[in-house]
Each structure stands twice: as C-alpha cells, then as structure tokens.
Amino acid sequence: MRLFYLTFLFFVATIQLSAQSIHSRLASQTQRLLEDVQMKNASLSLYVADAATGELVYQYSGHRGLAPASSQKIFTAIAAFEKLGTDFRFKTTLGYKGQVESGVLKGDLIIKGYGDPTLGSWRYPGYKPEDVKNKIISSLEAAGIRAVDGDVIVDETSFSFNPVPGGWPWNDMGNYYGAGDWGVNWMENQVNITYRGGSPGGAVKIQKVDPEMPGVALINKMVSGPSGSADKSRIFTAPYSPVALIDGRVPSGTTRMATGSMPNPPLQLGTDIVRWLKEKQIYITGGVKTGGALVIKGNSVPKMAKVIDTYTSPQLSQIVHYFLRKSVNLYGEAFAKAIGYQEKNEGSTETGVDEIIKFWKSNGISAGELGMMDGSGLSPQNYVSAYAEVKALLYARGRNWFADFYEALPTYNGTKMKSGTIHACKAYAGYQKSSSGKNYVFSIIINNYYGSQYSLLPKMYRILNVLK
C-alpha cells in the first residue's frame, strides 16, 4: 500500500513538474520574443489551453483584441458548419420569363444566383467554366429551347447590392484575394492579366486579359524596371466600375501574370452565356442585363416564371477545405452572406456577421473579445483576442464535423493551424499534440511588428515549438 501511495505521489508530481515546465518555457520564449527589435512597437496576444480540459496553460495579454487577419476564418468556418450544416450547398437556378413556342423562348432567359462562390471555379471537378457551359446548354436542349427572342438576365439581387465588406482597403480590393462576393459569382471573380516588361524605364505591354472584361477600360500605367527586379505591379478595380487600373514597376524582359478581381462578375457570366449560345447556334435577339444594372437605372428585375434547372455547389465541407487551406476570402464572405440570408432573409455582410457574432456570444465569446467586420479577416478593422480563438477551437473539438474542420486546417512548421497575414499583422491559431501525447490549443496574434514577416516567423515558431 505504501509503495502504491509513493508511486501515485511521484506520478502527480511528474505531471505538475511537466505543466510547470511548459509554462516556464512558454514564458521564457515569450519574453525572448518581446525583447526582439521587431517587437519594440508591437502588440502581442497569446493564449494556450489544455485541449482535454480547456484549462489555461499560459497566456500573455490573452484577452487583448488585435487584428487577426485570416486566422479569423476559424470563426466563420465553425459558424458555417453549425448554422448551415456540413451538407449545405449553394444553388443557382436557370429559367425564363415568357413562353416557349416551337422551340423559341419568347421572353428572357434568366439565371438567378444565391451566392455560390464555386460557380466556374477551377478547384472542383465538374464546376469549371466548360462544365457550367455544358450544363446550361444541356438544360436548354432538354427544355426544347433552340432560340431566345429576348435578353439574358443575370440576377444577383438575392444578395446585397454591395459585394465588398466595409473596411476593406482600396489597394486590396483590386487583387484576386480582394474579390467581392456577389449573388452571382463567376470563376471566383478573378481576371488574369498577362504582360511583358520592355527595356528599363520603358512601357509594359499587356498581352492578354482573361477573361476579357465587358464594358471595362483597362488603364495601363506600368513601367519596366531593371532586369531581375521585383514585380511591384498593382491592380485597382471596384465593383460596377467601368475602369480598371494596373500600375507599378515590373522587371524588364520578362512575361508575368497578375491576377485581379472582376468589377462585374454577373455581367461577365452573362456575356459568356451569350457567346455559348451563339457557338451552339442558339439564336438570341437581345443582349445581357444584370440585376445590378437594372437596379442602378431604377428598373425592376424580371421574375423567373419557369425554372428549367437548378445547379448546386459542392457541399460545405469541401468548400471549407479550400477556405482554410488556401485562405480564399471570397468563400468567407459567401458563408457570412448565406448565414444572413438563411437566418434573416438578407444576404448582406452586416446581417451575416451579426448572426455569426450572436452565435459566438451564445457560446461564451463576448463582443469585447470578437469584433468582426467581414467573414474572411481581410479588414484591418477586425479585432479578436487569442483567448477567443482558443475558445472557438475548443468548441470545434466537440462537434461531429470536427474531423472535416481539422483536416481543412493547413500545416505550418509541423503544426495544424490557420495563419493570418495582413500589413504588420501575423497570427496563428490551431492544435498541437506534444511528444508526450498531451494536446494543446493555442492562438498567437502580433500587430504592428517591425520588418519582414519572414524574419518574424521563426521567432513565433520558437514559442509554438515548446508545445511539441
């Protein structure tokens, strides 16, 4: 009995020493980071918890609210799993207003979207532009439509007229990662611009714009820099704008491609549909109209009288995979608006984000710990505490969809975690299993650091490596 008692005391003491060791090592590495020159004017929020019990292991300003960048995506992803469901699919309907007589649609062909961010995406088999084309043509053939005596109407009005969340910086909106979310999205709302630098100081020639943007004048103000210099091209576009600007300095003598955001994806899809019809010799008398353009002119949007077909997206768990792995901001905004549309019949960023915040408040995260302006984390006006991120990750561990969520998280430095990066902000939030078999949940957020993120990363990893 005495031997058993001594063994038990030794076991308890070993656990306590191990916990103290983790705490002291985390404290030591945190202090080392804080004393680094990159952190002189920076703010840090760090929180580590025991995954099994949720108890605090170590924190440094764990309740301080900082801009989280894309690590905020965990809140949106988890809320989407809970509010929409793992099997949720976005939908897009094809139909018409009018009558079909002897193969001729006497009226308008209408495609109405409900925010599918994967329509025409290259990421999913069966959803690429050619697949969408084949589906639409097949649907028209099945409906007996061989000609359209009317217009193609692309109706994106199920979601908010404003596709871009408040707080997004102007120099982000024109880039591919700053593409807004519309009621009708197309090819992830991206445009590829191929160009070649001339002699140093000379002009840069744009060789290709894919897809061609209907009704948009592309202003080229790029100049050629020295050979081997960095590509500093920038793209500026805005929703509904008839002008896109690309400027900056690019290396001479090389061909490069910049990816920007479409100013009007519904119009682009409508233009492509008209082209497909003509390729298949389906006669059409009218042109392309979008719901947004009709609203701008004060006109009503035609209502679909007859549904021909409904196209659905991949299920939500598949979309979350790329949302977290590839940090696709468009998907976060689509999830937020879908939640708003489902809960309040209003597909706007504001409504969706309010519903996400309410969800987290009901699960113990106060508004002081989580301030969201968007669903993706791109806005620097977002603020989140490390404690809130850890609490969200702990919540996810107990849900039946956790395996899908965990698998979707990227792996950095041998650790399953979501990263976040915007100007002067770097963050990580995720899970770590130690060599002893103990599981931890953590979040580390840094704002306003000095210098390069690439020199900061190993210093952050030193803290996280303590948990291994």
pLDDT digits (tens, 9 = 90+) for 389-401: 999 999 999 999 9
Radius of gyration of the chain (CA): 26
How far is Cα 329 from Cα 327, in angstroms, rounded to an integer?
A: 6
> SS3 of 41, please?
coil
Mean pLDDT of the chain, nearest integer: 95
Check: CB of residue 188 under 8 Å from CB of residue 129.
Answer: no
Task: Check pLDDT > 60 for residue 7.
Answer: no
Integer Cα distance of 17 and 10 in angstroms: 10
- Identify the pLDDT of residue 20: 65
Round to whole Å and give the CA distance between 219 and 223. Answer: 13
Q: Is the pLDDT of residue 19 over 90?
A: no
**Amino acid at position 172, single letter:** D
Q: What is the pTM of this model?
A: 0.94
Q: Which amino acid is at 351?
A: T
Q: Strands (DSSP E) along 114-203, which ranges?
A: 147-148, 152-155, 190-197
pLDDT tens sequence across 97-127: 999 999 999 999 999 999 999 999 999 999 9
Q: Which domains does the chain have, with CATH numbers?
A: 21-86+317-465 (3.40.710.10), 89-313 (3.50.80.20)
The alpha helices in 186-302, defined as continuous H runs, are 265-279, 291-296
| CB < 8 Å & 24+ apart, contacts of 341-344 | 341/114, 341/115, 341/158, 341/159, 342/83, 342/84, 343/83
Please list the alpha-helical segments (H only) found in 155-247.
170-173
pLDDT score at 166: 86
* φ, ψ dihedrals at 261, nearest 5°: -105, 140
From the list 263, 289, 294, the residue with the least C-alpha distance to 274 is 289
Dist. CA 393–CA 77, nearest whole Å: 11
Quickly state the pLDDT bin for 336 (edges 50, 70, 90).
Answer: very high
Contacts of 9 (CB under 8 A, 6+ apart): none
Q: Which two tokens stand for residue 30?
A: 């945190």
Whole-angstrom CA distances from 229 to 171, 220, 225, 251, 253 are 21, 19, 7, 5, 11
> Each residue of 238-265: pLDDT tens digit?
999 999 999 999 999 999 999 999 999 9
